[in-house]
Amino acid sequence: MKNLRKFIALFLSLILMISLVGCKEKTQEDIQKSYQTYLDRMFRDEVTSDSLSLHYTLAHPENYGIKNIKPTLGTFSIEQMKKNMIDAENNRNKLQEFNYDWLTKEDQITYEILDNTFSKNLALGAYPYLVEQLGPTTGLQAQLPILFAEYSFYTKEDISTYIKLLNCVDEYFICIEEFEKEKSQKGYFMTDDIADSIIAQCQDFIKNPEGNFLIMSFRERIDIITDLTDVEKSELEEKNKAAILTSVIPAYESLIETLISLKGSSKNKNGLCGFEGGKEYYELKAQLSTGSSKTVPEMKKSLKALLNRCLSTITTLSIKDPTLYDQYQNITFPETEPNATMEYLASHITKDFPVLDSVNYTVKYVPDSLKDHLSPAMYLVPPIDFYTENSIYINDNPIFDMTKLFPTIAHEGYPGHLYQNVYFRKLNKHPIRSVVDVTGYDEGWATYVECYSYGMAGLSQNLADFLKANMIAVHCLYSLTDIGVHYDGWTKKETIDFWSNYVSSVEDAESIYNSILGEPGIYLPYCVGYIEIMELKVLAKSTLQENFRLKDFHTFLLDFGPAPYDIIEKYFKNWLSEKNGSDSAKK
């Protein structure tokens, strides 16, 4: 009887164990499914917050269960920012309810990226009046015309939505104006110089209303919809023109009037650090945009060290070859035309970068009315589900030397933004990964490969090294100035003094100061992101030594995709350990 009882007890315990294991497996599966549902919901909420975000993220939102979304540019106000913070807090709390250990590796990576992003954004939410929607180069008023010009038409409904969005511009700009007025009342308005720069940009965009490029280019853009009759096309052209003339142009006119009326109300003539909480805000903003966990003083230390190495390289090479500066002044790249340069670069990166199937791209030129206010080039990220179609804009303003576009095309095209974005899209990871903004990864990679491109240009090793060092030194100088102005409180005179050894005129130094004053943190993602990648590269070389392969390193970064660098480093160290072990086993 005792043996039977023991057997029954053992049998019951085995049944219990099997049940528990089965229950655990089911629970783990349920958690993973629930987590995917959470990500899906958050993705939908993110992309449907405004119709421009939706259109630029998804060409066919209906395939993602997104239908019948009312066309809107969204809203912008202190109240909306507060609501966004509540949503972020709720989303983070929901995220942390999931058992991290029961998620797949890929889901754990996404978990860490989201948790980091929520944390930084929630901290930034404490400084609503330091947020700025306007800026001489990257501000809403500068970017909106390009976003409308590149708004792709896949169906007739897309054209209808586009025209409705044009008619929303005046209402949305009212929100921006009210926010600027509120900032002015509380002493957070921009300086007069920054306001003048934005006003000038707006005036250039609307100076010829009837000939506005959004009107002139519309017919060409709707021609791709083959089932439109000529009558329908004419009617749509009239609706587009009316929307430009009655909503868009008046919105810019009203913004100009508002900015003029608020001039003189600035209480702070220096950078962000001149505002209460400005240094703290700048550091959070810098960490979020760069993807680096370094403090601003640590970023500054790294930038200074890199600058000194670059200057030392430039000096050593110049002594070694006194003709280098003349070679630099008269440099000739293997290709100068943008399309030919793209083809050249695509064919020369296969040794050190993973293969990417060819994609379609169009090189376009910045409209005349925007040339004075935009950067030399820009890449527009395509929708997740239409990533094979890409656009690169070239600014052929005479101030930019079109014969020296080679490294710029590398930055924007191959193996830069276009290559990296298309590569990541093809991995088919959860779409939430494509909407979490990690500028420091994107721009750090593009800066890194721009530097790399000099080695593909058929130049002498000395000249290539000279150009790399010079390029990175300039990035360091701008980034250090950014920190100087917005974190250390540099005045215009201190900025001019800093640049006196690097530029020939006071006017150039003043221009640098004004551009940085109006765009806090704009340069950091490029250089700090580059530093983070180079630190990973140094770690890889020291760990793998003779087994280091540049193509493997690039493949890891591309496969991992956009993420804060401390998260990348965590998985990178595991990858190095595994790779080192497998390489040792082969021996």
The pLDDT of residue 269 is: 85
Burial class (CB in 10 A: 0-12, 13-18, 19+), 430: middle
Which of 201, 204, 178, 205 lies closest to 189, judged by CA? Answer: 178
> Hey, what are 214's tokens?
């959004």
Is 240 in the same domain as 293?
no
pLDDT at residue 10 tops 50: no
Do 8 and 126 lie in one domain? The reply is yes
For the chain, the average pLDDT equals: 90
- One domain, residues 125 and 148: no
pLDDT beyond 70 at 26 = no
Is there a domain that residue 419 lies in?
no
In this predicted structure, the answer to whether residue 1 has a pLDDT above a threshold of 80 is no
Same domain, 463 and 586: yes
Residue with tokens 């595994």: 578
Taking residues 524-549, report their average pLDDT.
96
What CA–CA distance (Å, rounded) separates 353 from 366? Answer: 30
Domain boundary among 241, 267, 293: 267
pLDDT tens digits, one per residue of 364-417: 887 776 777 667 778 888 899 988 888 888 887 766 666 688 999 999 999 999
Q: What is the pLDDT of residue 321?
A: 93
- 3-class DSSP assignment, residue 262: helix
The reply to whether 165 and 284 lie within a common domain is no
Average pLDDT estimate for 42-71 = 91
Task: Pick the closest to residue 214 from 159, 146, 165, 161 (CA basis).
Answer: 146
Residue 408 domain-assigned? no
- Residue that is last in its domain, among 130, 156, 174: 130
In a domain, 237, yes or no: yes
Q: Is residue 352 part of a domain?
A: no
Whole-number pLDDT of residue 287: 97
Range of the domain at 252: 140-267
pLDDT of residue 391: 87
- DSSP letters spanning 166-183: HTTHHHHHHHHHHHHHHH
pLDDT value at residue 579: 83
Residue 33 in domain:
yes
| pTM assigned to the model | 0.90
Closest to 199 (Cα-Cα) out of 134, 146, 107: 134
**2 pLDDT above the threshold of 50:** no
- Within a domain: residue 298? yes
DSSP code, position 364: E
Do the strands 377-380 and 360-365 form a parallel or antiparallel pair, or are they unpaired?
Answer: unpaired
Residues 124 and 159 in one domain: no
Mean pLDDT of 435-455: 95
490-510: pLDDT as tens digits: 999 999 999 998 887 888 899
Check whether 216 has a pLDDT greater than 50. yes
Shared-domain flag, residues 583 and 492: yes
Structure confidence at residue 18 (pLDDT): 39
Same domain, 218 and 186: yes
At residue 9, the pLDDT reads 41
- Determine the pLDDT at residue 12: 40
Name the band, by pLDDT with cuts 50, 70 and 90, for residue 19: very low
Q: What is the pLDDT of residue 219?
A: 85
**Is residue 22 pLDDT above 80, yes or no?**
no
pLDDT single digits (tens) 252-269: 999 999 999 999 999 998
Predicted confidence at residue 349, as pLDDT, reads 94
Q: How many domains does the chain have?
A: 3
Cα–Cα distance list, 383 to 114, 121, 187, 435, 575 (Å): 21, 24, 39, 10, 30
pLDDT of residue 501: 87
- Residue 450: both structure tokens together: 């721009």
Q: Looking at per-residue confidence, does 361 or 297 come out higher?
A: 297
Say if strands 389-394 and 360-365 run parallel, antiparallel, or are unpaired.
parallel
Is 445 a domain residue?
Answer: no
In this structure, the strands spanning 389-394 and 377-380 are antiparallel
Residue percentage of the chain with pLDDT more than 70: 93
Closest CA to 394 of 467, 444, 342: 342
Residue 402 tokens, joined: 């079109």
100-142 confidence digits (pLDDT tens): 999 999 999 999 999 999 999 999 999 999 999 998 888 999 9
Based on its alpha-carbon atoms, the radius of gyration of the chain, rounded to whole angstroms, reads 27
**Three-class SS state of 361:** strand
- pLDDT bucket at 583, cuts 50 / 70 / 90: low
Which has more pLDDT, 18 or 46? 46
Q: What are 42's two structure tokens? A: 């958050």
Among 177-186, 330-339, 350-359, top mean pLDDT goes to 177-186
Q: Please, what sign has the CA dihedral across residues 509, 333, 406, 464?
A: negative
Q: Cα–chain-centroid distance for residue 139? A: 14
Say if residue 209 is in the same domain as residue 109: no
Residue with tokens 């293969």: 355
- The residues with which 362 forms a beta bridge, in sequence order, are 391
Mark whether 150 and 227 lie in a shared domain: yes
From 267, 285, 309, the end of a domain falls on 267
Share of the chain above pLDDT 90, in %: 73
The confidence score (pLDDT) of residue 587 equals 54
**The pLDDT value given to residue 402:** 64
Q: Are residues 247 and 99 in the same domain?
A: no
In a domain, 148, yes or no: yes
Judgement on whether residues 208 and 148 belong to the same structural domain of the protein: yes
